[in-house]
Copies of this chain bind each other. A is one copy, B any other.
Amino acid sequence: MRNFTCVQDIGPLDKAVAEALEVKANRYAYKHLGENRTMLMLFFNSSLRTRLSTQKAAMNLGMNVIVLDVNQGAWKLETERGVIMDGDKPEHLLEAIPVMGCYADVIGVRSFARFESKADDYQERILQQFIEHSGRPVVSMEAATRHPLQSFADLITIEEHKTKARPKVVMTWAPHPKALPQAVPNSFAEWMNAADYEFVITHPEGYELDPAFVGNARVEYNQDRALEGADFVYAKNWSAYAGPNYGKVLSTDRSWTVDARKMSLTDNAFFMHCLPVRRNMIVTDDVIESPRSLVIPEAANREISAQVVLKRILESL
């Protein structure tokens, strides 16, 4: 594998999941792969799970790890070419990226959608610059439009818990006080479509996702109807994608919060969320704390998805 930014990069999903389960059972069996190899983890945005799980995965593989928080202890970075740099940003990404490539064998990048320009976000301008200019394999640790390490961990978790070959998975929008990117729902949809589950997306009018990610999913505006017979309920907030509302909060309607009544409509579904989650906005305390909640196993599988990705990259160096 050269880069890991989307579901296509991982190849056949059955093989990837099998490798994940093998790594999970023997996570220190590949320490030789990372010897004298350095993982640089670069954060333009905050992180808890991604930071810890990716670092852990790299260390499991014997890599050296350097963590860098841009804007904390490093220089602010200019991202536009051609500007006269007389403002508050003393360094340009066009220098910073190849420089970082000098000191790393693999680069992980977290760079969220900025909601300044839909085109910039959906062209993945920051991530693409790393791919073009770093000279190194690049791993998305959540970019503007996708969060593939999360989706891969979600897939592993569903495969571990499903009791049908083709479970019904429902991704439901839920309210949140601030505008969040579409990266997680886009990415989850991309992976669920690739896994060929029965996949339903439900959200209020106006929250339609990019059709390129929705793919073959059934979109249902009635949350109750969507949840009927679900095996897995994947809750997530996102801001509007379509038209001039891009990046806006159109609703904070708490009737969409996933609670016990909603879960009772399902086929005793598991509850999933990528975390961090706002309790009693996205999901009630009792649902997230119930025995059917998979939020912690999902998070634990972040170490595994990251380790499979890094292992494959190291094997191809």
Residue numbers of A with Cβ under 8 A of B are 28, 36, 38, 40, 43, 46-49, 51-53, 55-56, 59-60, 64, 66, 68-69, 72-75, 78, 81-87, 90-92, 94-96, 98-100, 102-104, 177, 252, 275-281, 285, 288-289, 295-296, 299-300, 302-303
Evaluate contact between B92 and A66: CB separation under 8 angstroms.
no
Evaluate contact between A51 and B38: CB separation under 8 angstroms.
no
Evaluate contact between A103 and B46: CB separation under 8 angstroms.
no
In Å, the complex CA distance between A195 and B182 comes to: 56
Which residue of chain B has its CB nearest to the CB of A60? B36
Contacts A72-B73, A74-B46, A102-B296; is A279 near B52 (CB within 8 Å)? Answer: no
In Å, the complex CA distance between A281 and B85 comes to: 6
How distant is A35 from chain B, measured CB to nearest CB, in Å?
8
Contacts A69-B73, A81-B285; is A296 near B47 (CB within 8 Å)? Answer: no
Contact residues of A: prevailing secondary structure: mixed
Which residue of chain B has its CB nearest to the CB of A78? B279
Contacts A48-B74, A281-B85; is A296 near B99 (CB within 8 Å)? Answer: yes
Evaluate contact between B296 and A85: CB separation under 8 angstroms.
no
Evaluate contact between B48 and A85: CB separation under 8 angstroms.
no
With a cutoff of 8 Å between Cβ atoms, the chain B residues found around residue A252 in the complex are 86
Contacts A68-B51, A103-B56; is A279 near B73 (CB within 8 Å)? Answer: no
With a cutoff of 8 Å between Cβ atoms, the chain B residues found around residue A81 in the complex are 285
Evaluate contact between B38 and A56: CB separation under 8 angstroms.
yes
Contacts A90-B276, A99-B296, A275-B95; is A48 near B75 (CB within 8 Å)? Answer: yes
Point out the residue from B49, B53, B83, B98 that lies within 8 Å of A279, measured CB to CB.
B83
Contacts A59-B64, A102-B299, A299-B99; is A85 near B49 (CB within 8 Å)? Answer: no
10 A-B pairs within 8 Å (CB atoms) are namely A47-B74, A53-B102, A56-B66, A56-B104, A86-B177, A87-B177, A91-B276, A94-B289, A95-B295, A103-B303
Evaluate contact between A36 and B28: CB separation under 8 angstroms.
yes
Point out the residue from B28, B68, B72, B95 that lies within 8 Å of A72, measured CB to CB.
B72
Evaluate contact between B91 and A277: CB separation under 8 angstroms.
yes
Evaluate contact between A49 and B99: CB separation under 8 angstroms.
yes
With a cutoff of 8 Å between Cβ atoms, the chain B residues found around residue A300 in the complex are 99, 102
